[in-house]
Amino acid sequence: MLARLQSAFQRQQQFTADASHELRTPVAVLLAQSECALFGGDSLDEHRQALVACQRAGKRMQSLIEGLLTLARCDAGNVLSERREVDLAEVVKSSVRMLAPTAEEKNISVTSDLQPAQVMGDANRLSQVVVNLVQHAIIYNKPGGQVRVKLHSADQNVSLAITDTGIGIAADHLPHIYDRFYRVDPSRSEQGAASGLGLAITQEIIHAHGGHIEVLSQPGVGSTFAVHLPAMPESPAPRNHTDHATKGASSDNPDSS
Ligand code: ADP
């Protein structure tokens, strides 16, 4: 009991130290650049560059603070603001559509194969999960690579698999990728690209929906992240309702960008 308390306390201390460290860098950039704009060069171009750097640092802080707030909600057990029937295929479709410009920019093709799937939960949070995973599949891909999104429902279980042809993750990193602030390549954070909170939040949201996430990865070949969620129990077929023929039927909805 004492050992468990000690370990929880150490984790909390580490988390606070990591969060402070992560915020210190953009604050330092913000102060240095604003000082430079106030007391440094006079040219419009120099001022503009300083403002761009300030804006980038501000965005980084905003994303970190939002991530920290979401994790605080997870820890307090109230990350889901609602629990209602969610059409997961629709959530996946709109999340993939939202990321089409990012995929296009990196010349990545995204294809979807979506079966109808209803789950109980918070549509916004589920969308956050899909966006995180598909975004990673695009960002950690190779130029000209592919992402496949497959949603499938069977035996009261819904599975969402996101497969990429990207850089993959080495076996020794896999046990840590859901840890808060963990990054396989910390140098990416300097470019403002990664907070190291994405998968921690993703996993918490999935757990809050009674599901789990697993990953299969091979360095240089790619990764598959699979999310498993409990399906909504089928409601009894309404009488004299002919539309019902389409429900539960397997359907392929290719959605490319
Ligand atoms: P980050 O903000 O750094 O992306 P995450 O918590 O979302 O943080 O992910 C943790 C690490 O897992 C990332 O730094 C990245 O190295 C690795 N990772 C996540 N998804 C993928 C993927 N699809 N392919 C390769 N590496 C990935």
For the stretch 110-158, pLDDT in tens is: 999 999 999 999 999 999 999 999 999 999 999 999 999 999 999 899 9
Q: Would the CB of 141 count as within 6 Å of ligand 1?
A: no
Strand order in the sheet with 157-164: 109-114, 146-154, 157-164, 222-230, 212-218
Residue 129 one-letter amino acid:
V
Residue nearest to atom 8 of ligand 1 (CA): 196
Residue nearest to atom 23 of ligand 1 (CA): 137
Q: Measured from the CA of 189, which atom of ligand 1 is nearest? A: 3
Q: Would the CB of 140 count as within 6 Å of ligand 1?
A: yes
Q: How does residue 74 score in pLDDT terms, banded at 50, 70 and 90?
A: very high
What angle (nearest 5°) sits at the alpha carbon of residue 228, between those of residues 15 and 169? 55
Average pLDDT, integer, range 20-31:
93
- Joined together, the tokens standing for residue 174 give 């896999």
Residue with tokens 């020794």: 172
**pLDDT for 254 beyond 90:** no
**Least confident window among 159-173, 211-225, 240-254:** 240-254
